[in-house]
């Protein structure tokens, strides 16, 4: 497996569809309990650091996009039973996506 660094803009272009939906955690109050990928903790290896990551934007994504993100990234992916949708939680704010890097794991 090869790790490659791309921008969030490039990653978003690889997805079939995504729709900004910041109301997701308000409509599904248990959304944070339904994490399927990634870690909600800033430093998951440090028992003394129990700081939750801040999620600034929520995007509805297709099931195939959720599977893709789960297979190549450690991005925060949730499934909402109430919305019957997958949700991608974005943890950076105020920076254009073409300026933010993300590591992906791709098979050769």
Domain residue ranges of the chain, discontinuous segments joined by +: 2-101
Quick check: 39 and 46 in contact, CB under 8 A? no
Model-level pTM greater than 0.85? Answer: yes
Which pLDDT does position 108 carry in this prediction? Answer: 47
Neighbours of 18 (CB within 10 A): 14
Percent of the chain as helix, strand, coil, to the nearest 5: 25, 35, 40
At 24-79, the pLDDT tens digits run 999 999 999 999 999 998 776 655 566 888 999 999 999 999 999 999 999 999 99
More confident residue, 50 or 95: 95
């Amino acid at each position: 497996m090869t790790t490659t660094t791309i921008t969030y803009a490039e990653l978003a272009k690889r997805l079939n569809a995504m729709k900004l939906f910041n109301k997701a955690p308000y409509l599904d109050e248990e959304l944070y309990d339904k994490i399927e990928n990634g870690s909600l903790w800033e430093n998951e290896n440090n028992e003394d650091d129990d700081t939750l990551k801040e999620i600034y934007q929520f995007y509805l994504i297709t099931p195939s996009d959720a599977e893709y993100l789960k297979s190549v990234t450690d991005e925060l992916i949730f499934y909402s039973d109430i919305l019957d949708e997958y949700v991608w939680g974005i943890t950076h704010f105020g920076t254009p996506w073409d300026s933010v890097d993300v590591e992906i794991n791709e098979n050769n």
